[in-house]
Structure 1
């Protein structure tokens, strides 16, 4: 009987699965399950379908390859030069570039620092590196503002620390994809002693409001310990 069941269901059925099925079909033993099938009290196809459901339930969902979701940055976006959507107060036609130390995006309070040979470096006002640079060379400070182009994309990075569990990255990437945000870089590290995973994800966003919404949704996931913008 068990050979016939295995052939029909195309599954390798264990004794524990038979015992679980016996409970499900309100009989006490595996032999009682056989008898119920033989007498017609339990249809063979019903039992087969139940075993298939058990197999689906305990088959792990394949993990996503994080790098499969990485996309190239859009051409012409987040590049050095006047295409950054920045206006400069009191200074002529200087190039601007987004500082990689803090990666400002529209909606952030920003300031500029006049560099040697690279134009103006645009920082978030709470950037520690900007504070250090201005402490040494305050005369290089310049006021800058965001322009009116709300379609431009900017790179932003976030650090996520969570319990290392199956499906973690799938849940995170689903949130990012649902917000129509592109992932352009991923770095991850597992701490086996703490059973945690740290993940740095670089994304392209159009502003701080969108980025904050994505990070807040990630914070609400089970097993997420910390989410912070870099």
Structure 2
């Protein structure tokens, strides 16, 4: 789904540190073997690599249908929360690929979901629907520690 400008057929890998999805602003960096790693432009790794003198590669999104993203929901524990949250996600057309619910800490629960969406344009609506579930106080994209 990513096109590398001026390099037809170049291999592409989406960075695990910032998990870019269609419609994010993106940039790329060439790595070993001519593969281009694609990052969100606001990723901390981009600033580090640019600061180290690595040249950015122009990349753009192609077809944005079918989008997989990992989301983290922070909530207060309560009965039926998991059922309510997954129902809200299903009503927005999200197919849950994987889910992890960490044990409560001080009545707070962290849920991590990897979901498949029909297209990237559904992401803001899905996140809003998740935030509207009683007890959920934050929903965001999963962030992993970047390595340059």
Which aligned runs of 4 or more in structure 1 are off by greater than 6 angstroms? none
Q: Secondary structure at the match of 1:138?
A: coil
Q: Is the 8 A contact 1:96 1:122 kept in 2?
A: yes
| Change over 3 Å in CA distance of 1:118–1:204 after alignment to 2 | farther
Alpha-carbon distance between aligned partners in 2 of 1:212 and 1:155, rounded to the nearest angstrom: 13
TM-score (norm 1): 0.57
Alpha-carbon distance between aligned partners in 1 of 2:64 and 2:120, rounded to the nearest angstrom: 11
User: Which residue matches 1:142?
Assistant: 57
2:25 aligns with one of 88, 109, 113: 109
Count matched residues.
Answer: 142
Where do residues 1-230 of structure 1 align in structure 2 (5 Å cutoff)? 85-117=1-33, 119-139=35-55, 141-147=56-62, 149-151=63-65, 153-192=66-105, 194-230=106-142
Greater RCO structure (CA 8 Å; 6+ sep): 2
Is the deviation greater in 130-139 or in 95-104? 130-139
Alpha-carbon distance between aligned partners in 2 of 1:107 and 1:177, rounded to the nearest angstrom: 22
Residue segments in structure 1 that go unaligned for 5+ positions in a row: 1-84
Q: Is the 8 A contact 1:88 1:143 kept in 2?
A: yes
TM-score (norm 2): 0.85
Deviation at 1:118, TM superposition (A): 6.3
- Structure that is richer in helix per residue: 1
